[in-house]
Structure 1
Amino acid sequence: MGKLRKQICQCVLDHFERSYGKELGEAWATAREMLISPQYWQYAVLLNKFSSPSELEKHLHLKGYRRLFECILPSLKCYISGTPGRFPAQRHAFGKLKDYYLLNAASLLPVLALAVKDGEFVLDMCAAPGGKSIAILQCASPGHLHCNERDRERSQWLQQTLESFIPEHVMSSVTTWELDGRQIGQLWPGMYDKVLVDAPCSNDRSWLFSSSVQQATLRIAQRRRLPSLQIQLLRSAIEALRPGGSLVYSTCTLSGAENGDVIAHVLNNCGNVLAEDLSDMAAAVSQDFTLATGVHHGLLVLPDRGKAWGPMYVAKLRKI
């Protein structure tokens, strides 16, 4: 319950009020209410197929949890509850795999959109803390999965996450790097079938509870530079893709400048990519997620009453 005692950072909230009030209109009022109220936040339970937690599935059913994405991707065992609350977390224990991973259910949408198939070469360009890498390995058996995280501390966090969920025989097809994602395209051009760019962004939930005014002020100042970084990462991802390969770009912010504007810039300036249509996926998840209207080149999950997932923006590009 520690998050409930955190104080909202007023300067961040004021900044969001000005920008999101204009961008989202009436939808901002509800999203705002959910973002500033951690007691309403919901958490999904992603089961680990490598530890076969059948008893846990029964327990979740008894507690009123239900399966999410079952018709879209049966191999992904994700459970959600209709009421706010957080399932107890598991501690890291050396030599023992964890049974489940707790996460915002919307963060699985980029993995669904990526649609990894067995044998494919896959890059998770900004992989820490590791939830999406874990989800990819629940969905398929890639020929190789490269998990990259530039920051040393976050890279160690990523490595521990992988070791907690993935057995050694599967880890033999997983490599972790600490590279600048902007350089990967030049280092390994045309190498990957699929690339996930879960980009550094204005993390709306986290930023609203900044630990100090100084930290918040620095974040707001840095925000203007994020689209440039995101575009550079996307250009690198495109270069790393083989012709016909696809990438998914995602963020956990409501910011149009970091979402649709970034994708529009890449589409307007890179003649070798096309936007993929995500309308089928949007229709399939619309019962469980509130999706913003009028979003170009992707979909945006808005935190809503009873569906307090997101923010999460997802767009998909194919290299031609």
Structure 2
Amino acid sequence: MLACIVSGRKSFLVRNNMSACRGFLLRRINDSCLTFRRHKFKKKWATTLPKIPCSRLALQYFDINYSMQFGDLWPSIRISLLTEQKYGALVNNFSHKETVLNNLSALKAKDFISEAQSVISLLQTQNNVDTSEKMVFTEVPLNLVGEKNDAEQTQATNLLSSLSNSKLTCFTFSRGDISRFPQSRSDCFGLLEYYLMDAASLLPVLALDIQHGHSVLDLCAAPGGKTLALLQTENCQYLAANDLSTSRSSRLHRVLHSYVPRDQRAEHKVRITSWDGRLWGDLEASTYDMVLVDVPCTTDRHSLLEEENNIFHRIRTKQRQMLPLLQTELLV
């Protein structure tokens, strides 16, 4: 009789222990960071989901069109577009420039503009080019094969001429070096030391060869890299920066606020608007010495690497088809 009571008690204790363990495990599962959630929609319901990714459509489009335009150069261009973008660091002349130059040089980055100036000097010495005369760029149709080399040489000479007096400084890592620049820091005045951008975006600014006292219009200015570069030349007496998108114009405001002192972006020096650039001729005709127009495009690298806001999405087909007309209207 006693044995039965003891045995029953042990069985009762075992059941209690099992219940306690089960409760403990359930609590641990509930407290775990692993949670289950449903997708916003089931794939079979996603009628707007493209069957072929937008990035693949973009690549197919580029393979067909760019292979004809660039010929043997297209494979290397294709590889570049499909790899991660390398940025240049545009040094902020309004910050502590010497300190920034030393810090960037310590990263083994090089100022490609100063290197280009050295090459220019060497080439001009070898070819006995007189740099004292002002060279005027004349547009030559590149489809004229016989004149293509002359046109390219003229363009290059004029670009190099503007480089010789440039105050811009932009550091890049050498070819094959995939290092990244650290996040820019603020100086004692709250201005960031450098702006990360595609170094090729500086070429239009250099080609304009802005002279002291010029009034300049940046017609499609956002997000602000070229606008900032124009101000870094310290030659703009007045700069009008425009972008049709109000959200992008707000970003432009933030960029200038982060890099340019208040007195250098005062209303009588810098103006930011959100007007339709196609109507600018009616609004302010013959007002500016120089106009920079970075027209909307297919943003090739973004189209190949990102699905979000991709211009090759089917809902943006009409917008993509209208791009040539929009570009023409902005340039006329």
Is 1:37 aligned to 2:83, yes or no? yes
Residue 3 of structure 1 aligns with which residue?
A: none
- Contact 1:147–1:177 (CA under 8 A) maintained in structure 2: yes
Q: What letter corresponds to residue 287 of structure 2 in structure 1? A: M
Q: What letter corresponds to residue 229 of structure 1 in structure 2? A: L
How far did 1:222 drift? 2.7
How far did 1:65 drift? 1.1
Residue 168 of structure 2 aligns with which residue?
A: 76
- Contact 1:128–1:154 (CA under 8 A) maintained in structure 2: yes
* Alignment match of 1:128 (pick from 208, 222, 233): 222
Residue 55 of structure 2 aligns with which residue?
A: 9
- Contact 1:8–1:209 (CA under 8 A) maintained in structure 2: no
* Alignment match of 2:303 (pick from 190, 195, 207): 207
Residue 106 of structure 2 aligns with which residue?
A: 62
In structure 2, stretches of 5+ residues that fail to align are: 1-52, 118-162
Aligned CA distance change for structure 1 residues 111 and 222 (closer, same or farther; 3 Å): same
1:225-265 CA distance string (max 9 Å, x none): 11111111112xxxxxxxxxxxxxxxxxxxxxxxxxxxxxx
Q: What letter corresponds to residue 56 of structure 1 in structure 2? A: V
Residue 22 of structure 1 aligns with which residue?
A: 68
* Alignment match of 1:194 (pick from 284, 290, 295): 290
In structure 1, stretches of 5+ residues that fail to align are: 1-6, 236-320
Deviates more, 1:218-227 or 1:85-94: 85-94
* Alignment match of 1:146 (pick from 224, 235, 240): 240
How far did 1:115 drift? 1.1
Residue 255 of structure 2 aligns with which residue?
A: 161
* Alignment match of 1:177 (pick from 273, 286, 289): 273
- Contact 2:110–2:171 (CA under 8 A) maintained in structure 1: yes
How far did 1:8 drift? 8.2
How far did 1:90 drift? 3.1
Q: What letter corresponds to residue 168 of structure 1 in structure 2? A: R
How far did 1:170 drift? 0.7
Residue 222 of structure 1 aligns with which residue?
A: 319
How far did 1:117 drift? 1.3
Instruction: Give the Cα separation in 2 of the matches to 1:24 and 1:52.
Output: 42
1:82-111 CA distance string (max 9 Å, x none): 112321233789971111001111110000
- Contact 1:149–1:178 (CA under 8 A) maintained in structure 2: yes
How far did 1:216 drift? 2.6
Residue 263 of structure 1 aligns with which residue?
A: none
Instruction: Give the Cα separation in 2 of the matches to 1:147 and 1:21.
Output: 35
- Contact 2:303–2:311 (CA under 8 A) maintained in structure 1: no
- Contact 2:55–2:305 (CA under 8 A) maintained in structure 1: yes
Match of 2:77, SS? helix
1:153-201 CA distance string (max 9 Å, x none): 1010011011111111111100000100011111111101000001111
Residue 99 of structure 1 aligns with which residue?
A: 193
Q: What letter corresponds to residue 25 of structure 1 in structure 2? A: G
- Give the TM-score normalised by structure 1: 0.66
Q: Percent identity?
A: 36
Q: What letter corresponds to residue 302 of structure 2 in structure 1? A: S
Instruction: Give the Cα separation in 2 of the matches to 1:119 and 1:136.
Output: 12
- Contact 1:116–1:140 (CA under 8 A) maintained in structure 2: no
Aligned CA distance change for structure 1 residues 160 and 214 (closer, same or farther; 3 Å): closer
Instruction: Give the Cα separation in 2 of the matches to 1:230 and 1:146.
Output: 20
Instruction: Give the Cα separation in 1 of the matches to 2:251 and 2:186.
Output: 11
1:41-80 CA distance string (max 9 Å, x none): 3211110010123222112112211112222244111111
Match of 1:69, SS? helix
Structure having the higher Rg: 2
Aligned CA distance change for structure 1 residues 227 and 213 (closer, same or farther; 3 Å): closer
How far did 1:213 drift? 9.7
Aligned CA distance change for structure 1 residues 196 and 17 (closer, same or farther; 3 Å): same
How far did 1:37 drift? 1.5
**Structure richer in helix, relative to its length:** 2
